[in-house]
Structure 1
Amino acid sequence: MAYILNIDTALKKASVSVSLKGKIISVACNDTTLDHAAFLHTAIDKVLQQAALSIKEIQAVSVVYGPGSYTGLRIGMASAKGLCFALQVPLIGIGTLALMAASMIRVLPESQQEYLLFPMIDARRMEVFTAGYNQKLEEIMPARALILDNHSFLDLPQNSTPVFFGDGAQKWEPICTVSNALFTELSPLQNDLAEMSYKKFLSGNFTELAYSEPLYVKSFYTK
């Protein structure tokens, strides 16, 4: 059985879970903003105990590699790589923005117009980390650091509904001039992370352990 340890320390709230066949069997969450270093290793022990597993039964480790908090990404990636080296198991990398998009498309109502998904992570002042995805979760705009103003996103197709979400969208909404824009809340990501990790595990889509690095987008972002 493919037990996967999932680590997400990319955003303000962190989670660690053990999943089996894409379903979470134990989870620990940290609601203390960015206090991820103190949380992580205790959480790993906790979820293993809850699942009645030894660390040696873990068959892969997945980690959310960014963008996000510089410190959080570094902590998560270092821990995940260390476990993979010690256990001799593969590393699965999940992009933060792709994960957010996968979570959002699952809950959006049916529409005659195509949704275009724009997850946003707060990057201080009027800047966000963002990317664009269509309904098939194909990337239509690569991950970037974007300074928002009232001219942003005005070149989108007229027959689509752009959806903005994530903590960065909160500062975009008051100045947004896209007439049909939809702003909505993002659900917790743990279940979608487990599902995405399992799909990559089945397909053998692993990250090269020796060369894997966080995706910072902007190297000086340290929030």
Structure 2
Amino acid sequence: MSTILSIDTSTKSGSVALIRAGLVVGAQHYNIDKSHSSLLHVMIDELMKNTGTTLEELDAIAISEGPGSYTGLRIGVSAAKGLCYALELPLIAVNTLEAMAYQVYRYSSQVDYLCPMIDARRMEVYAMVKNGSFETVQETEPVIVDEESFVTELADHQVVFFGDGAAKCQEVIQHPNASFVSEVYPSAVEVGLLGAKKYELGQFENVIDFEPFYLKEFRLATAKTSKK
């Protein structure tokens, strides 16, 4: 019976959850932009107290590995690694988009395809496609959305789009087989539930070498200096 603390800081919203024996014991969420560094550890402490659990009772830490916000992912992974080092626990990584897809999959029936999307700015999103059996149809990749996006999947299947990247695509993807679900965000709950499955399979990360799944290189914009 594993007890897993899961963390998601992949977007501006953040969450932590405690999963025991494959069931959700407790979870806490916040949705305040640029607050991971100030709120994450506070939320972990509150979660442990509210569930009557000590850090020493944990068997593993599960982290949402990305894609997502560069800064958010760094903060979450750093916190997860710190706990793993201090408590000598294994680290489990879960794809953020897969966890989002699992969130819809858990409560849906007879769905052809699930397409979670994370906003990557302008008309680009990070996306993947899962089928009704939760098998991967399209691996995680950046997609520039236009009228031709997902035409192959939409030709013969009903596709449900969701996530903060889906809203801006709704006016562009007008295919009759496309539907959109709002209010679906990355959550540590699904990260933990999928993490529990990985724990049973012994699918752990190398804590020393593990890095977030950024998908794209981080670009730092520098201000131009005028010549005198």
Same fold (TM over 0.5): yes
Query: Which of the pair has more CA radius of gyration?
Result: 2
What SS is found at the alignment partner of 2:203? coil
C-alpha distance in 1 between matches for 2:43 and 2:198: 23
Amino acid at match of 1:211: D
Aligned residues of 1:117 and 1:164 also touching (Cα < 8 A): yes
Q: Aligned residue for 2:167?
A: 170
* More off after superposition, 45-54 vs 182-191: 182-191
CA distance in 1, matches of 2:30, 2:211: 23
Matched residue, 1:121: 118
Q: For 2:218 and 2:77, locate their aligned partners in 1 and report how far apart those are by CA, in whole Å.
A: 17
Q: Which residue of 1 aligns with 2:94?
A: 94
Structure 2 distance, partners of 1:54, 1:221, is 39
1:205 counterpart = 2:203: yes
Unaligned runs of 5+ in 1: none
> When the two structures are superposed, what TM-score results if normalisation uses the length of structure 2?
0.89
- Shift in Å at residue 85 of structure 1? 1.2
In structure 2, the CA distance between the partners of 1:141 and 1:40, relative to structure 1 (3 Å rule), is same
Q: Deviations over 1:89-121 (max 9, x none)?
A: 1111110011111111222243xxx61111100
What is the percent sequence identity of the aligned residues?
37
- Deviations 1:42-74, CA, capped at 9 Å, x for gaps: 111111111222212211000001001111100
1:179 maps to what in 2? 176
* Match in the other structure for 1:3: 3
| Cα pair distance change 1:139/1:96, threshold 3 Å | same
> 1:143-195: per-residue Cα shift (whole Å, max 9, x none)?
11111111211222633111111110001001113221111125463432332
Distance 1:153 1:209 in 2: 36
TM-score by length of 1: 0.91
Contact 2:127 2:140 in 1 (8 A): yes
Match of 1:148 in 2: 145
Report if aligned partners of 2:154, 2:177 keep a CA contact under 8 Å in 1: no
Aligned to 2:135: 138
Partners of 2:214 and 2:159 in 1: how far apart?
25
Contact 1:30 1:36 in 2 (8 A): no
CA distance in 1, matches of 2:211, 2:179: 33
Take 1:176 and 1:166, find their aligned partners in 2: how far apart are those partners? 15
User: Do the aligned partners of residues 135 and 21 (structure 1) sit closer, same or farther apart at CA in structure 2, a change above 3 Å counting?
Assistant: same
1:21 matches 2:18: no
Contact in 1 for aligned 2:154/2:175 (Cα 8 Å):
no
Unaligned runs of 5+ in 2: 221-228
Alignment length (residue pairs): 219
Check whether the contact 2:17–2:189 (CA below 8 A) recurs between aligned residues.
no
**Which range is displaced more, 183-192 or 136-145?**
183-192
Aligned CA-pair RMSD = 1.8
Report the equivalent of 1:51: 51
